[in-house]
Structure 1
Amino acid sequence: MTLELLATRPWLRHYDPGIPHTLKLTPEPLPALLQRAAERFAETTAITFYGRNLRYAHLWEEAQHFARGLLAIGFQPGERAVILLPNIPQAVIAYYGVLLAGGIVVLANPIFDAEGFAHEVRDSEATTVIALSMFYRLVEQVRAELPFPRLIYTNLKEYLPSSQRIIFTLLRQEREGHRVPAEQAANAHWFQHVLAAGTNGDLPTLRADDPAVILYTSGTTGKAKGVLHRHASLYANTYQTRAWYADADEGNERVLCAIPFSHAYGMTACMNVGIALGATLILLPTFETHNVLHAIRRERPTFFPGVPPMYAALNEVRDVRKYGLSSLKSCLSGAAPLPIEVQEGFERITRSRLVEGYGLSEAGPVTHANPLRGQRRVGSIGLPLPDTEARIVDMHSGDDVPAGAIGELLVRGPQLMAGYWRNPQATAEAITPDGWLCTGDVARMLPDGYFQIIERKKEMIIAGDYNIYPRDLEEALYEHPTVIDAAVVGVPLPDGRTEVRAFVVTRPGEQVSEEEVFAFLRNRLNLPVMPEKIEFREALPRSFIGKLLRWRLVEECSARSRAERKEWWCERKPT
């Protein structure tokens, strides 16, 4: 390691032993991950789903059959296929099958409303939708407006063990709405029929620079944009993330897959990295606390990539240690800031290592993580991954700022997106001519190369002459013994001021007054501006991945304020 390299990348000296500074990757198409795992670990369980196991050799065979079946029913290379599935075996088979057929996967949120789903189908110009049968009402509603050529349904029971399949058919299928009505079923293909049609035929030749996946952003400030990744960028991010698990035992690890594969973090950190490790993927269609705990006790996972609300929920379970969480070795938290109280509580009950990382859909998504064995910095997103560059620039001039100064985080590396789907203007605004992605996050780099996220630029509160960072206040609120969730937002007022408002969720059965919380904050923080109001909630708005949606709180407060002003005016309006 040269002094010149350390001067520009001081984080390299803090890598765990065994993590290379550069991977020297030769990009390959994503299905190479599964093919390689099938060759090396043919008899290893690739997927376990409520007791049903699929070996790697079988999973690879199913993916190829699905690809050939797609081509047999008219799918063409380059077309887009929307996958509307939770974490079930069909999701993995469909993902790799579409890619093997030369298609572009569009990952859709399984808890979409019709408007959001229709936008993704329309914007991507998808020709094929692969959906769970229980979503048929949503799918048929959108199909009536956008008659895409091919629809493939699959049922949750198809990959359940035979005993559970019988119970599911008798007790759950009708009650939970898994049966597609005959009229709609007649106008759709079925997953198993597509597999059966794919026993023969050639598959197209894939290249690493072919488009592979479209991921849609959350769309909090307008219509969601499609993030287009090529095979090469997702292949690179898979191995960058896999390298962080320096002591992983390939072929013998077990990954708990509770994050939806439809999210960039679940797709990479759970599915693709798990397959690159030859690990067993323990699939959970939804995150329900006690189901997760029973899965941990039954399946003994070693890795658990997750998001802060997942770890926080497990922390709150009485006698949680009886579920055998000691099998966990490493847990990488992403998608949202990890509160210190959640981190410390989870490590106490599991004796595992829980570290915070960072990423965004436009970067595959992982760019930073704290070391899993070495020095981690509480409240830090850690270090850039191998082959990832990062810098902090002034938010106005765009010039580099010195270590310790606050500015916008920019990243560059092989995991960056090709651009926003058919949106060159947005792409040009996000990626500089020399290849740096502007993250939109306010951050600082410490002198030794660790990075800290201060706040999203759009969520920083400007109150008078002061910049307020919500995370500072939220971390203090989490320290209160009754608080289990917190959010701080700036609410614009009619007079042009911004009101700082806090929202907290307390433990069930425990109560605390607004004044007690104010006093608690004043004792811990010395800030020029403090919250003017504190509201108590049963829950805070979060995305399907668990990301705090502060913008919804702002919209709600603004709407309430407008209604109150209207009511005030009506009461005083002369008759």
Structure 2
Amino acid sequence: MPTKSGYSDLDIPDLDLWTFLFERKDKPFPDTKVIYTDPDTSRSYTYAQVRETALDFGKGLKSVWEWKKGDVLGLYTPNCVDTPAITWGTLWAGGIISPANPGYTVDELAFQLKDSGAKALVTQKAFLKPALEAAKNAGIEDDRVIVMGDERDETMRIKHFKQIKNISGTNRYRKAKVTPDKDLAFLVYSSGTTGHPKGVMLSHTNIVANTLQIRAGEAGNLSWSGGADGKGDKLLAFLPFFHIYGLTCLIHQSLYSGLELIVMPKFDLPRFCEIVQDHKITFAYVVPPVVLLLGKSPIIDNYNLSSIRMMNSGAAPLTQDLVDAVYSRLQIPIKQGYGLSETSPSTHTQPWEDWKKTIGSVGRLLPNQTAKYINAEEKEVPAGETGELWIKGPNIFRGYLNNSTGTKDALTDDGYFKTGDVGHQDKNGNFYITDRVKELIKYKGFQVPPAELEGLLLGNPEVDDVGVIGIYEEAQATEVPRAYVVPKRGVQASPETSAKIVEWLAKKVASHKKLRGGVRFVDEIPKSASGKILRRVLKEQALAEQKKAKL
């Protein structure tokens, strides 16, 4: 029998996100509560200011661009305190947000803009050049590209988002009518093993449900009042807002629960420590490479991080060694959670009180879900036995955009999502993830599709054949991509050639897709009779190389 959540089921309201967040009758905190703060400029938004700015931006979209229900707005930007207001203003106008990694190349961004059918793009000044080039390639005119943040385009050719929100005469516009469980709120892109990223369609209901599920998982431990300074819990946001982990766990949870979110553009260890110390951060969502730094970096000794009551690690497995190292050094407990883009994202988390009892577990199933582990014959296995995790609930996505085959392969007729992750549950309802069915490489929480890198590398004039795998890099506590290359005849299999290939690819991909695992030269790439690369054989070869290197 599938496992039901041990939590009581929640009442998931049939509301769009705007109504859920801004027209609620049960909000316990005042409109003046500060929700988003930029620690570098001290610029902030209260709950009321987010609502007002979002409303003005949504009306401006309808006025300036005649925004229609279902129109897609692309975001190409690091974390910014303006992101939430722009997001919810777009949703108020009936639009869909499609966030993109600011590390994307022009071609990678252009693909997402084309695939999503984006009608406009928001970026920051520092990213304007690639944004404009990608927009042009995707058929988006310059007058539909705008900037947000503290810097403006000096040429005044590209509008700032405030010019959209400050348009006069917009009071006649009304909020778009949305069907919460059918109409999309977000199109986030998750890399697939076939190369191009897939557009994950998330409805308003998906995000409403997961916001409430996450809140239940934290079980009242996070509060808008109290905390280290009596002003409520403070969360540190360095996880990217373009990723569903940041979108739901940070942006939506903070506003719904009245928690102040201190917004970092990206992770930087000294700045992370400084913000924790100065702002008395009490809770942080992290990833294993950050946990590794907290356990081992000498920089940590220069700061007081004692305000942190708990951390939650996700995006990749976390080992007991890392948890123990941080706790013995800093007395900061770290619990673990689990989720995917397709699940909005959080499906499991460890209860605060259980973090030490079940280290290595991703915790318990959150409310309103059922889950089961399935073997290769698609039969459910009992507790303790290994299988692929399938999950069902109101947070499960609507399917992949323009990809009916991928959707059919991922979702069963009765609504279960096949996660592609392998593991088991124990008799107490704790879930464990031990491996992946999928071939995706996970670098610091980012997904790297090996087939995409192989396709690019085959275009290198010095490469005859190639296979890409992920290898675990202990020093970074993450997987990194490595290419096994058959060189062209006459090309020397040397360190110089290896470095040239690594550098060549680095210019064509986002930072997280670089060959940090290097290049290894081989005589042939192992393949099946049908021509499929046998990555398992390459991984065995990599393990043998690692063992030999340690001798």
TM over 0.5: yes
Q: Tell me by how many angstroms 1:487 deviates.
A: 4.5
Residue 29 (str. 1) matches residue 2 (str. 2): no
- The answer for the alignment partner of 2:43 in structure 1 is 52
* Alignment match, 1:384: 365
The amino acid across from 2:71 in the alignment is: E
1:495-510 → structure 2 map (5 Å cutoff) = none
Q: 1:424 to 1:181 in 2, by over 3 A?
A: same
- The one-letter code of the counterpart of 1:236 is A
Q: CA deviation at 1:442?
A: 1.4
TM-score (norm 1): 0.74
CA distance in 2, matches of 1:250, 1:385: 22
* 1:267-317 Cα shifts (integer Å, max 9, x gaps): 111111111111111100111111111111111122201111122223333
* Cα deviation, residue 320, structure 1: 2.2
Q: Is residue 207 from structure 1 mapped to residue 166 from structure 2 by the alignment?
A: no
The corresponding residue for 2:83 is 91
Deviations 1:428-461 (A, max 9, x none): 1000000010011111122222111111113499
Residue in 1 that maps onto 2:163: 193
Report the CA distance shift for 1:11/1:235 in structure 2 as closer, same or farther (over 3 A).
closer
The answer to whether the Cα contact below 8 Å between 2:2 and 2:371 also exists between their aligned partners in 1 is no
Match of 2:295 in 1: 315
Q: How many residues are treated as equivalent by the alignment?
A: 462
**2:444 corresponding residue in structure 1:** none
Q: In structure 1, the residue corresponding to 2:477 is in which secondary structure?
A: strand
Match of 2:53 among 62, 68, 73: 62
The superposition leaves residues 311-338 of structure 1 with CA deviations (integer Å, 9 ceiling, x where unpaired) of 2223333262553312112211111111
> Does residue 229 of structure 1 match 2:202?
yes
1:47 CA drift (Å): 1.1
Are residues 359 and 393 of structure 1, via their aligned partners in 2, closer, same or farther at CA, if it must alter by over 3 Å?
A: same
Distance 1:557 1:401 in 2: 40
Distance 1:411 1:553, change over 3 A: farther
Q: Which amino acid is 1:204 matched to? A: A
Q: Which residue of 2 aligns with 1:156?
A: 149
Q: Helix, strand or coil for the counterpart of 2:285? A: coil
Q: Secondary structure at the match of 1:217?
A: strand
Matching residue's letter, 1:250: W
> Cα distance 1:244–1:421, how it changes in 2: closer, same or farther (>3 A)?
same
Confirm or deny: 8 A CA contact 1:22 1:386 kept in the other structure.
yes
Question: Could you say which residue in structure 2 is the equivalent of 1:270?
Answer: 250
Counterpart for residue 3 of structure 2: 9
Change (3 A) 1:147 1:392: same
- Measured after TM superposition, the shift of residue 349 of structure 1 is 3.7
The C-alpha deviation readout for 1:240-268, integer Å capped at 9, x for no partner, is 01111112223522111110111010111
Larger mean CA deviation between 410-419 and 318-327 belongs to 318-327
Q: Equivalents in 2 of 1:486, 1:97: separation in Å?
A: 37
Deviations 1:342-384 (A, max 9, x none): 2222223442321111111000011111221136412221211
- Provide the C-alpha distance between the structure 2 equivalents of 1:234 and 1:11, rounded to a whole number of angstroms: 18
Give runs of ≥4 in structure 1 deviating > 6 Å: 488-494, 544-547
CA–CA separation in structure 2 for the residues paired with 1:235 and 1:307: 24
Change in Cα spacing, 1:195 to 1:388, as seen in structure 2 (3 Å) is same
Aligned residues: percent identity? 28
**Corresponding position of 1:372:** 352
Q: Distance in 1 between matches of 2:408 and 2:115?
A: 19
Among candidates 42, 53, 56, match of residue 31 of structure 2: 42
Name which of 111, 128, 147 aligns with 2:120. Answer: 128
Change (3 A) 1:125 1:457: same
Q: Distance in 2 between matches of 1:459 and 1:423?
A: 19
* TM-score of the two chains, using structure 2 as the length reference: 0.77
Instruction: Look up the match of 1:301.
Output: 281
Q: 1:493 to 1:399 in 2, by over 3 A?
A: farther
What stretches of structure 1 of length at least 5 have no aligned partner? 1-6, 13-19, 159-178, 462-469, 495-536, 565-575
Letter of the aligned partner of 1:45 in structure 2?
V
Map of 1:392-471 to 2, 5 A cutoff?
392-395=373-376, 397-459=377-439
Q: CA deviation at 1:492?
A: 7.6
Q: Give the CA RMSD over aligned residues.
A: 3.2
Q: CA deviation at 1:226?
A: 0.1
After superposition, the Cα gap between the structure-2 partners of 1:557 and 1:401, relative to the gap in structure 1 and judged at 3 Å, is farther
Q: Deviations over 1:192-245 (max 9, x none)?
A: 101111662322233312211001002453111100010001110111011111
1:242 has 2:215 as partner: yes
Q: Distance in 1 between matches of 2:261 and 2:510?
A: 19
Question: Is 1:328–1:350's contact at 8 Å kept on the other side of the alignment?
Answer: no
Name the structure 2 match of 1:72. Answer: 63
Q: How far, CA to CA, are the matches of 1:316 and 1:561 in structure 2?
A: 36
Give how far 1:63 is off. Answer: 0.7
